[in-house]
Amino acid sequence: PELMSHSDLFVLCSHNEGLAYVILETMYAELLIISTAVGGVPDIVKHGETGFLVARNDDAQLRELIEKCITNTNIRQSIVKRAREVAEQKYSIAGFSSQYNTVLRELCKI
């Protein structure tokens, strides 16, 4: 967390990922996320809404996005705010509890 507070963005260049908890930590830390679109990352990061996704091994697109995000603070500010809101709504204890209760209610209707 301390290291993240001194950063402007977070880049995750994985070839494979499950649920990348570091993505959630980054959303809470209000850092802009640029990640390869692998594994469970696209389920959390919505391109252009809560971060940016690049194809695996697309170095040109990765470089372009990093440059764009460093120079355009307006994009960075709006996306990190939205990402934090999504993290709090969906991935907090309250968010998980709400989703869990919804599933249980649906199952009980059967």
User: What structural domains does the chain harbor?
Assistant: 4-84 (3.40.50.2000)
Helical segments of the chain, H only? 21-28, 41-44, 59-71, 73-90, 93-109
Q: What is the pLDDT of residues 33-84, one digit of tens each?
A: 999 999 999 999 999 999 999 999 999 999 999 999 999 888 888 999 999 9
Alpha-carbon distance 13 to 68, whole Å?
17
How much is the pTM?
A: 0.80
d(CA 15, CA 1) in angstroms, rounded, equals: 24
Residue 71, phi-psi category: left (phi > 0), alpha (psi -120 to 50), beta (remainder) = alpha
Side by side, the strands of the sheet bearing 52-54 are: 9-12, 32-36, 52-54
